[in-house]
Amino acid sequence: MHGDATATRNRIGAQIVTAAKVKIIFHIGQHKTGSKALQSFLYLHSAALAQRGILYPVDQTVHQKVRAYQISHYRLFALLRHEALQACGQANAARHYWREQRAICRPYDCSRAMFDAIENERRRIGADTIIVSAEDLFDMQTAHQIDLNMDCLAAGVKILSELARAFQYQPVVVTYVRRQDHLLGAHYVQYVKGSRDPTIEFKTFARTFAPRLDTYRLLACWSTEFGADAMVVRPYERAAMPTGIVADFFECALQQAIPSDWMAPAPEREAVNTTPGRDQVELIRHLHRRRGSGWPLLRRAQILDTTTALNWGVTTKHGSTIAAWLSPAQRRQLLLDHTEGNARIAQHYLPKTKTPLFSEPPPHDDASWQPYSGLSAQDTAAIIRQVRRQLFCGGSIKWIAAGALFFLSVAILMGILV
């Protein structure tokens, strides 16, 4: 009897929610704007959110090898991109993409099937708000790609808006946008960390990646389909969100504060996504070049874990910010190229503020900036020594880290990095 009464209340609650229109919040990134931290928090507190009528749909029955796919809605992005490629007439690209992504997307074979599952869960718990988060949605590209396919983006956003209408959801699109110079530097580091061929040097990357820095153009695809009123655009900088992205999202998207007893997730790679310095990035590139030259035992996990994941707090004399890659004059020119677009973003999406999109002033200290001289054997040896100390501080060393450390040492001894 008790179970029947509960089921009846849930059905009535679901009917009332449907009549009032369910809000669906699409958090779409950008990349490198703290998305993993937000997703980790929402994933950790998904049960508590459900008790408040907010569904953050996580599938505990499907194991994902990449934890980022487990805590976010990467699968929705993958499904949409596959369908968008088909809609654009890029059949071969769609087939190739689906062969790579099919296993990740299971049990869904289309975005509609995933929405059906989300709606069934929403009805089961009687939620009136749904949160979907995947930073890859912003431009329908992963952070490990360079080029931009505007046709694919437009088609993917159209499919998503049609799904929202089909389920009679009230959509809200939340995005955090980063200043173009900082975005370029962060994207390049992420590309080197995660792409299949991370040997590309910065200048080539910057030239090819340039269309993805046109934030206004990309946002226009979303506002065309969902309407400017449905867009919540937030500048990703400390002045605009002093308490961080999680608190900002709760305030701006959910109109509520984070409960005081909700703990932050424990620090981990997926939530923190540490950024290595330029010396470390160069080390990753060099080692991957050696891997491509026939070092069969040098595996990607060994390179990446030793040079980034296992050396939190390791510093080099060249930092991880864009100042390590571009001079102040180059950064000012890049920002000048996007002045009009950023002004339009502020005008269209932040009309009440009457302030520029980004408050941080452009860099002016040209005199003290020095171009990067390259990775020396001495700097590489210093990185390895710090990594080695960090590995042994824990009292044990994993075989992967040990193997990577061995190859790093051999690289130094053979002088291949000079």
Q: Of 272, 290, 310, which residue is a domain's last?
A: 272
Residue 88 and residue 191 share a domain: yes
Q: What CATH number did the domain enclosing 58 receive? A: 3.40.50
Residue 173 and residue 290 share a domain: no
Note whether 42 and 249 are within 8 A (CB). no
Note whether 17 and 126 are within 8 A (CB). yes
Residue 355 counted as domain residue: no
Report the C-alpha dihedral over residues 219, 225, 228, 229, rounded to 10 degrees: -140
Residue 100 counted as domain residue: yes
Q: Of 232, 257, 272, which residue is a domain's last?
A: 272
Residue 243 and residue 104 share a domain: yes
Residue 169 and residue 302 share a domain: no
Q: Provide the domain count of the chain.
A: 2
Residue 67 and residue 35 share a domain: yes
Residue 31 and residue 148 share a domain: yes
Please, which residues have CB within 8 angstroms of residue 78's CB and are 6 or more apart in sequence? 101, 104, 105
Residue 261 and residue 386 share a domain: no
Residue 296 and residue 149 share a domain: no
Amino acid at 355: T
Residue 199 counted as domain residue: yes
Task: Assess whether the previous peptide bond of 356 is cis (omega < 30° from 0).
Answer: no
Residue 341 counted as domain residue: no
User: Could you give the CA distance from residue 353 to residue 130 in angstroms, rounded to a whole number?
Assistant: 28
What's the residue count for the chain? Answer: 418
Q: What is the pLDDT of residues 318-374, one digit of tens each?
A: 566 788 899 999 999 999 999 999 999 999 999 888 889 999 999 988 878 888 888
Which pLDDT value is given to residue 281? Answer: 81
User: Could you give the CA distance from residue 267 to residue 100 in angstroms, rounded to a whole number?
Assistant: 30
Residue 2 counted as domain residue: no
User: Could you give the CA distance from residue 316 to residue 309 in angstroms, rounded to a whole number?
Assistant: 15
Which pLDDT value is given to residue 112? Answer: 98
User: Could you give the CA distance from residue 395 to residue 344 in angstroms, rounded to a whole number?
Assistant: 54
Residue 365 counted as domain residue: no
Ranges under pLDDT 50 in the chain: 1-19, 270-271, 296-298, 309-315, 395-397, 413, 416-418
- Which has the closest alpha carbon to 180: 236, 118, 138? 236
Residue 344 counted as domain residue: no
Q: Tell me which residue range forms the domain holding 410.
A: 274-325+372-418
Residue 283 and residue 260 share a domain: no
Q: Partners of 133 in the beta sheet? A: 27
Residue 314 and residue 217 share a domain: no
Backbone phi, then psi, for 174, in 5-degree steps? -110, 125
Which pLDDT value is given to residue 18? Answer: 44
Residue 281 and residue 234 share a domain: no
Residue 286 and residue 181 share a domain: no
Structure tokens at 65: 């090898």
Residue 390 counted as domain residue: yes
Q: Of 255, 272, 289, which residue is a domain's last?
A: 272
What is residue 397's three-state secondary structure? Answer: coil
